[in-house]
Chains A and B, each alone.
Chain A
């Protein structure tokens, strides 16, 4: 997949502002960014469900404006909002979707059995979709997107709104797909999701790419090795940060805590205590993509 100067406009509003990227076969590529950064607009363009406003885009080597139908025949899309038929059964949803790809019924049935197994929904196959939990519906949507055995899988916030167990189960499933050599394109709010699943990722903000690289590269480039998280009484963080500025490479004030970026967290924490500060709580941890994100966009991800 190749995009050059890819742009999406809605009237005067520019949702995606001339971005360039290339995604190789078998790669798993992530788009991170806050709400409204342009991730979903990008996903809709590369899944050939929304026309590009500018620039060029080639998906599976074809032009979406010309070959939308042929491209979509080889894509599996997991949209941000579920589009399941709630009155039909789990199995029927898979059968119907397979028919859109004109697959023969026996083949759909065979794949459906495997996918239900994969999504851990086998014992719900004949239940209506409506009463299923959010996690189950999401797993069904992912199973459905795989019914055509696509070369490229596009997942728009696959785990948003799920509880931790459901999320881990989904990650495991996606990881398996990655190992099978599928090309995955994922948008997410969750840094741990991106770290686990993405070979390479971009951070999007205001329709542009703020950074691009592997998770490790991004952490090395935009953060220090370790982070000290300090919690003081609310309202004090700003003034404390000012006075502690000399102890860290960089500091960040969040509504509920203060982050100090440093190469050696334990040493920095000792210096904080030595300087006479007594935070209500203190934590030393390794830097994550969340810190990269905070640095690049000036805000936390889940808001």
Chain B
């Protein structure tokens, strides 16, 4: 049985990761846990009244899961895409073999989903050890986190394929990811924002990722809003994928 073409592309990233995973430990695994310890436990010890009805550490632990997924999903769709197209031309190496542009794209996005899964599993295990997870539904926070990551990865990959330099990535961080990280409900409820900003926060993908992960981990979930969050993340992933199909084809088939 022949291996599907996109799985062969996925195989490249997995093979490459075997050599480079050490350098990703800090950003992927250590940082979220350090945040959780410093802010959740350390700063949280000063916050005596419950936030949204739970301890502060319980409040931010699932938020950090979604924020980490955003960070990894975005990052993996920036520099590695640039590498594939320009710096090392990895994509072109693939395209000289039986692989097609669609396989290159699917393989890369699938790999990002794998990375998100690995990181989320480890983080959720740590969170469980902190005694945060209090619902069997917490298991579903795993696909929720992966969907949060892909909701960023797919559209950003589409963007990256149009770029010639990596300056655009800095802009995404500065004006996109960092504000989202701070103000999308990861560290405090968005109800604390000024009234006019709340609808803006509500509209961002990270807000939906955070609400979904939080609801699942803490077991405080109402069906319809949760489905709305999930649908939002899946829809954004799908739109991003369709856009990426176009930008990848335009860039790689000349």
- Residue numbers of A with Cβ under 8 A of B are 10, 44, 47, 49-51, 68-70, 72-73, 75, 77, 79, 81-88, 92, 95-97, 99-102, 145, 148
Please, how many angstroms separate the alpha-carbon atoms of A88 and B12 in the complex?
11
Please list 24 pairs of residues, one from A and one from B, whose beta carbons are closer than 8 Å in the complex, sorted by A's number.
Answer: A47-B96, A49-B253, A51-B253, A69-B5, A69-B98, A72-B97, A73-B97, A73-B98, A77-B96, A79-B89, A79-B92, A83-B90, A85-B93, A87-B19, A88-B16, A92-B19, A99-B8, A99-B12, A100-B93, A100-B94, A100-B98, A102-B98, A145-B96, A148-B97
Does B199 have its Cβ within 8 Å of any Cβ on chain A?
no
Q: Kindly report which residue of chain B lies nearest to residue A41, judged by CB atoms.
A: B254
Whether A97 contacts B15 in the complex (CB less than 8 A), given A69-B5, A83-B92, A85-B90, comes out as: no
- Residue numbers of B with Cβ under 8 A of A are 2-3, 5, 8-9, 11-12, 15-16, 19-20, 88-90, 92-100, 253-254
Whether A83 contacts B93 in the complex (CB less than 8 A), given A50-B254, A99-B11, comes out as: yes
Secondary structure dominating the interface of B: helix
Please, how many angstroms separate the alpha-carbon atoms of A218 and B97 in the complex?
35
Please, how many angstroms separate the alpha-carbon atoms of A83 and B253 in the complex?
16
A72 touching B93 by the CB < 8 A rule?
no
CB distance from A131 to the nearest CB of B (A): 15
CB distance from B43 to the nearest CB of A (A): 39
Please, how many angstroms separate the alpha-carbon atoms of A81 and B89 in the complex?
9
Please, how many angstroms separate the alpha-carbon atoms of A10 and B253 in the complex?
12
Residues of B within 8 A of A68 (CB): 100
Residues of B within 8 A of A69 (CB): 5, 98-100
Residues of A within 8 A of B92 (CB): 49, 79, 81, 83
Q: Kindly report which residue of chain B lies nearest to residue A82, judged by CB atoms.
A: B89
State which of B3, B88, B97 has its C-beta within 8 Å of the C-beta of A84: B88
B15 touching A95 by the CB < 8 A rule?
yes
B20 touching A87 by the CB < 8 A rule?
yes
Q: Closest 5 A-B residue pairs measured CB to CB?
A: A100-B97, A83-B89, A83-B93, A77-B96, A69-B98
Please, how many angstroms separate the alpha-carbon atoms of A82 and B95 in the complex?
13
Most buried by A among B3, B90, B97, B98: B97
CB distance from B103 to the nearest CB of A (A): 9
CB distance from A183 to the nearest CB of B (A): 16
Residues of A within 8 A of B19 (CB): 87-88, 92
Most buried by A among B16, B19, B96: B96
Residues of B within 8 A of A99 (CB): 8, 11-12, 15
Residues of B within 8 A of A145 (CB): 96
B90 touching A100 by the CB < 8 A rule?
no
CB distance from A162 to the nearest CB of B (A): 19
Please, how many angstroms separate the alpha-carbon atoms of A99 and B93 in the complex?
12
Whether A72 contacts B254 in the complex (CB less than 8 A), given A83-B92, A84-B88, comes out as: no
A72 touching B11 by the CB < 8 A rule?
no
Q: Kindly report which residue of chain B lies nearest to residue A98, judged by CB atoms.
A: B97
Residues of B within 8 A of A81 (CB): 89, 92
Residues of A within 8 A of B3 (CB): 102
A97 touching B97 by the CB < 8 A rule?
yes
Please, how many angstroms separate the alpha-carbon atoms of A68 and B93 in the complex?
15
A49 touching B16 by the CB < 8 A rule?
no
Q: Kindly report which residue of chain B lies nearest to residue A72, judged by CB atoms.
A: B98
CB distance from A273 to the nearest CB of B (A): 55
Please, how many angstroms separate the alpha-carbon atoms of A281 and B71 in the complex?
68
Residues of A within 8 A of B15 (CB): 88, 92, 95-96, 99
Q: Kindly report which residue of chain B lies nearest to residue A148, judged by CB atoms.
A: B97
Whether A85 contacts B16 in the complex (CB less than 8 A), given A50-B253, A97-B93, A100-B8, comes out as: yes
Please, how many angstroms separate the alpha-carbon atoms of A92 and B20 in the complex?
13
State which of B2, B5, B8, B96 has its C-beta within 8 Å of the C-beta of A49: B96
Q: Kindly report which residue of chain A lies nearest to residue B252, judged by CB atoms.
A: A49
B8 touching A85 by the CB < 8 A rule?
no
Q: Kindly report which residue of chain A lies nearest to residue B95, judged by CB atoms.
A: A49
Please, how many angstroms separate the alpha-carbon atoms of A47 and B254 in the complex?
13
